[in-house]
Amino acid sequence: MAQTSSSSPSLKASSSVTNDFQAIIMALILIVTIGYFLLLIVTPTNMYRQIWTPKIKAHITNSTYFGAQEKTLLMNTFPLIFIAVLGCVYLHLWKKSNDKNINRFEKKQKLAIWRRPIIMKGLGIVSRIELGFFVMFIALLVWTFASYLHIIFPTITPKSVAKSGEKVWEAKLEDSGLRLGLVGNICLTFLFVPVTRGSSVVQVFGLTSEASVKYHIWLGHIVMTLFSAHGICYIIYWASTHQLSEMLKWGKTDISNLAGELALLSGLVLWIATFPRIRRKMFELFFYTHHFYILFVVFFVFHVGVSYACIMLPGFFLFMVDRFLRFLQSRSNVRLVAARVLPCETLELNFSKTKSLSYTPTSIMFVNVPSISKVQWHPFTITSSSNLEPEKISVAIKGEGSWSKKLYQMISSPNSVDRLNVSVEGPYGPPSTHFLSHDLLVMVSGGSGITPFISIIRELIHTSESQKCKTPEILLISVFKNSEDLTMLDLLLPISGAPSETCKLGLQIEAFVTREKQPVSTEDKKNLRTVWFKPNPSDKPITPILGQNNWLWLGAIISCSFLIFLISLGVLNRYYIYPIDKNTNDIFSYPIKAVLNMLIICISIVNTSSAAFVWNKRQSGTDAKQIQNMEGATPMASPNSWFYNADREMESLPQQSLFQSTNLHFGERPDLKRLLFERKESSVGVLVCGPKKMRHEVANICSSGLASNLHFESISFSW
């Protein structure tokens, strides 16, 4: 007892110091972020053009290491890289302080009104906070464009354009096209940040890559609209001034128009394939054309020159680091232990993992099966809990697309494969969750939308059992088309779980079958079955790509690779480019300089990421060998396999144990308004995942203001 009491103050002191460090780091992040956006606001003004720019140019004229790039590297590239590194440190401290507690979020009643959902045409369901930031960002773009025109247009007069033989409207059109391109570059700076799956920039502000994909979509539409207008303005200008030959210009020390057109063409092909009708009907076309972003970026750098391209460099730099780390992780086959086959054409794949791999509920994982397609990677929602199932990770896959249907047929057929090569990327998810902050969780799902709720329920089972703390009551409202889909409720229980645990959790299920008016007879029912896969010595359990201290390692990779890039760039400029060009930008070829810069960036990222990956792979090799030894040669023949025995026990349990807390409704849809408004708890978290119509209906109910205790949250999921 004396030891416990003496250690308690030290733990509190350590926690207090950690919290202080977190507060300081977050303050620095906010200061740099605000300063960065203030710079964007000031850039189009006369103060920046007439006061700041001459002083900066006077300084960099004598620079023999970075030349004209020094300005953009310092003012546009460095801030976002700095935020990313600080974010990694902050998230590392946050993770350490939340290892045994998935919820440190307190109720934020003051922000409740700002988090209420709004349904906006073209934007979908957004919170008032998101809408506010979106409006401010659009205002920034409008301000930038208007400021440029306000400064330039008065200088365009009949007298000023007489020397070039142009008309006033032609000169204004050309300048408008240029300014549209400059405004588009602001959006391009942030375009890749939301789709950087392991991004510290995204997560430090409480977002996830999966949830922030919509920001990438918004930015993508704005970018392509502005760049398309930019290109159209120039084409009209060239046509009216009889200079269409300019379209084929590839300048050695000037803007390369042809490169810009190729970049725009690549972007247009990519953009067209993203529209919902094409993406849903021809997903593979969308998937393959989306890789045109590589051509877009390369030709963009050739078009504007490497110095100006540094404006969009930080977002793409962070994306490249993340993309290469994902590439390294995906090179090895992972240990697929078993698959649970549901009669509703749904699979739950169960993989072996090391205990050091942790993730939060609602996380996703990307899966690749080379025997179906070597290049296609599909995201799936994780259904397991890293705390409740420390040596297993599972994902649910619905046989809806061509890829998932092929996988289901391979595994569910009578002559099923006994081994399957599988590679994964991830998992990716929020740094923490806040489900414990509510008295009641109402989970509304439509069809396959139940999958993210499976991981939440399993995590709450662990919390109620291990931490002995009060967990919120759960009301699960699930809507299915057919009674066969009801078998998805079997996935609510973990493989190693017991039905009694759901009773302790306080789980109530309201299941609605809309297309059938009465239950199917027991003779027609198909049961869930499990398919086991033979292990292979080359298969490895899934491990954290950068170890337990992944955020610190990521911060080290970002900072070291960027530092190596700067050193290499300085050496290249000082001893190769400067002796030729003397900072005039009139001698050394722009395209060659662009190629050398892109090559240096790739080398710096590849070297640092590979070194960190190999080091952590060696550290996690011991855990992987221990798991392989525990599994034995074959699950079917290994009596010591916890995976095998646990699932056998699960399959032998009567299914009605789960349905004791389930009310079945046939031939009707849920009255969501009644079900939500009748809840009188002080704080009700409303989570919805399913079809667009269902999400909008729940969002409207929660935003109506008729029940202040309803707190809405839309959950994204992947099949």
Q: What is the pLDDT of residues 560-605, one digit of tens each?
A: 999 999 999 999 988 888 888 877 777 888 889 999 999 999 999 9
Say if CB 718 and CB 364 are below 8 A apart. yes
Burial of 355 (0-12, 13-18, 19+ CB in 10 A): middle
Taking CA atoms, 441 is separated from 367, 499, 550, 663, in Å, by 30, 20, 31, 17
CA–CA dist 663, 185 (Å, integer) = 55
CA–CA dist 511, 662 (Å, integer) = 7
Rg of the chain, C-alpha, whole Å: 28
Task: Give the number of C-alpha atoms closer than 13 A to the C-alpha of residue 195, restricted to the C-beta side.
Answer: 18
Q: Which conformational region is residue 522 in: left (phi greater than 0), alpha (psi within -120 to 50 degrees), or beta?
A: alpha
Taking CA atoms, 11 is separated from 1, 4, 14, 101, in Å, by 15, 10, 5, 15
Residue 388, pLDDT score: 83
Burial of 443 (0-12, 13-18, 19+ CB in 10 A): buried
Residue 647, pLDDT score: 40
Say if CB 82 and CB 32 are below 8 A apart. yes
Residues in a beta bridge with 396: 348
Report the 10 Å Cβ neighbour count for 335. Answer: 21
CA–CA dist 198, 51 (Å, integer) = 39
Tell me the two tokens of residue 90: 């902050």
Say if CB 186 and CB 141 are below 8 A apart. yes
Tell me the two tokens of residue 68: 């004209």
One-character DSSP codes across 593-613 = HHHHHHHHHHHHHHHHHHHHH
Residue 468, pLDDT score: 64
Whole-structure pTM value: 0.85
Say if CB 407 and CB 415 are below 8 A apart. no
Taking CA atoms, 344 is separated from 348, 417, 482, in Å, by 12, 20, 9
Helical axes 78-97 vs 550-572, angle rounded to 10°: 160
Decide: helix, strand or coil at residue 132.
helix
Residue 32 identity (one-letter amino acid): V
Tell me the two tokens of residue 537: 């010595």
Residue 516, pLDDT score: 81
Tell me the two tokens of residue 380: 């799936």
Decide: helix, strand or coil at residue 579.
helix
Residue 608, pLDDT score: 95
Phi, psi of 479 (to 5 degrees): -115, 125
Contact partners, residue 294, CB within 8 Å, separation at least 6: none
CA–CA dist 210, 118 (Å, integer) = 20
Tell me the two tokens of residue 493: 């229980």
CA–CA dist 39, 48 (Å, integer) = 9
Residue 5, pLDDT score: 43
> Residue 52 has what DSSP assignment?
I
Strands 440-446 and 336-342, how do they pair? unpaired
Say if CB 669 and CB 640 are below 8 A apart. no
Say if CB 450 and CB 310 are below 8 A apart. no
What does the H/E/C string look like for 206-221?
CCCCCCCHHHHHHHHH
Residues in a beta bridge with 116: none
Please list the rounded mean pLDDT of every run of 10 residues in the chain (719 residues). 46 65 90 93 86 72 74 87 93 71 43 64 76 90 94 88 84 93 93 89 78 87 95 93 89 87 94 86 83 93 88 92 92 88 88 87 89 87 86 86 86 81 87 76 86 87 73 87 84 61 71 81 65 84 86 94 94 88 81 92 95 84 54 38 34 50 86 87 85 85 80 65
Task: Give the number of C-alpha atoms closer than 13 A to the C-alpha of residue 497, restricted to the C-beta side.
Answer: 30
Residue 61, pLDDT score: 56
Residue 103, pLDDT score: 41
Say if CB 545 and CB 613 are below 8 A apart. yes
CA–CA dist 110, 554 (Å, integer) = 34
Residue 83, pLDDT score: 94
CA–CA dist 702, 686 (Å, integer) = 8
